[in-house]
Structure 1
């Protein structure tokens, strides 16, 4: 039986420790700047996202481009939401970009006086909103489950600095694996 010298054992331990620390640093960097996994806790985005879905949120692209209408975004609570003790991150769909005029009338969404077809909705909204113009550096976001979503029509606009990233892929549950969440 071969026994390792104490220095050889120390070297193996040190190499394993460096590998583990390096792996953790890479994972932390990836999570902070590139992508992260999120869990869907509510029905505010049904039917597009279901309670319990696990999704990948891509965080890098908004450093190089502006969010687009129709993207599903994750964001930190706005000052208005924090004042109501709502501190969790949220997920909604971008409906209005800076400068857009938004209105909801008779169950239909209008952006810049043009009706928007929303094939992802299960039920039309049972409320009216606007018209109002989205301020600079802010967005108007709504949940796909319009009648059961606490969103911009109730709390106002989403500041750009609150954006975390956009949902790209549902990977769990397995029967929804590979569902791309692109607009």
Structure 2
């Protein structure tokens, strides 16, 4: 017969089993906590130095990038920046007034002309990493000479490359007593921006060149041409700040060289608006000005040597994008990374994913 355990021995066995179960439970919890901690640290490192997810909140890059696109942006393409501020991980909350010493690590390439780049909005009042993220096309790289004539961008005296996704506003005339259908225009890929003569007559439509060519063949349409502001029109009377004061409007821009590191510029009363933000805001110099006379860091001079490279960016939705035509150049320190892939896209109007855009590689 099996030996019967005493009450005391049975109690000891129960206590040992309970202790073993508790230790196993604690071990399991520790393993999960360790795994979660490792995953969080790995995600922070990946986010800080390799890749980060971004969402397109506005239509400024349509039709190349759509509102509701979710992107993976490569920080290693141009070189990641070491942390600039201390903040709450995975949020935009950071410690005010504390800016860390930082540097940019080596990347695979420099920003190339027409790359689609994410950058910190230069004129935000915040530490660089705390500024709003913007995404635009880098149409001008350091040393390029840019100009705009009747909305046509010229780079180094040559017409800039056209891209299929670029949208602009066109004027569309239709036959008498015919109303242009907004739904038909939308189905073709355009958006009626303005009806100039009530419900019929002339319309302004935001669309790509391809859509404009298509609409020009509609039987009710008599004429399609690019809408261009006259060069005598000064839209900046309505603006409190404009990089392009001295230019008439964003459909026309006199030639300007995109600043580059080591460039020495001669400052005048007529061109200081181009370089003011660079000298004072981005390169932290004290400037006193009296007309065409300048005192920089206590020294009277009319010359300044640029300390870093800059870029000129524009949205592909050319008539619905505030970009370098309005607020100036993007400093190299503000470059975050290169747009790589659309991993998801949400159409808020239809409340459906755009399945045809999933996992699309973003081509320059």
* TM-score of the aligned structures, taking structure 2 as reference length: 0.47
Shift of 1:81: 4.0
Relative contact order: is structure 1 or structure 2 higher (C-alpha 8 Å, sep ≥ 6)? 1
Q: 1:102 aligns with which of 132, 146, 153?
A: 146
Q: Which residue of 1 aligns with 2:326?
A: 154
- Distance in 1 (CA, whole Å) between partners of 2:258 and 2:227 is 20
Task: For 1:16-165, list aligned pairs within 5 A.
Answer: 16-63=32-79, 64=107, 65-78=109-122, 80-82=123-125, 87-119=131-163, 120-123=165-168, 126=228, 127-136=251-260, 137-165=309-337
Shift of 1:101: 0.3
Structure 2 CA distance for partners of 1:61 and 1:125, relative to 1, 3 Å: farther
Contact 1:108–1:125 (8 Å) recurs in 2: no
- Distance in 2 (CA, whole Å) between partners of 1:40 and 1:27 is 21
- Distance in 2 (CA, whole Å) between partners of 1:125 and 1:139 is 27
Structure 2 CA distance for partners of 1:67 and 1:52, relative to 1, 3 Å: same
Q: Which residue of 1 aligns with 2:232?
A: none
Q: Which residue of 1 aligns with 2:88?
A: none
Give the number of the structure whose alpha-carbon radius of gyration is greater.
2
- Distance in 1 (CA, whole Å) between partners of 2:331 and 2:45 is 25
Contact 1:38–1:56 (8 Å) recurs in 2: yes
Unaligned residue ranges in structure 2 (runs of 5+): 1-16, 80-106, 169-225, 229-250, 261-308, 346-354
The Cα offsets for residues 121-151 of structure 1, whole Å up to 9 and x where unpaired, read as 1227841113100001100000001111010
- Distance in 2 (CA, whole Å) between partners of 1:92 and 1:163 is 11
Contact 1:44–1:149 (8 Å) recurs in 2: yes
Instruction: Give the number of equivalent residue pairs.
Output: 178
Q: Which residue of 1 aligns with 2:11?
A: none
The answer to whether structure 1 residue 177 and structure 2 residue 358 are counterparts is yes
Please identify, of 28-37 and 113-122, the stretch whose mean Cα deviation from structure 2 is larger.
113-122
- Distance in 1 (CA, whole Å) between partners of 2:120 and 2:22 is 51
The Cα offsets for residues 50-87 of structure 1, whole Å up to 9 and x where unpaired, read as 11111111111112221111111111121x3439xxx4
* TM-score of the aligned structures, taking structure 1 as reference length: 0.90
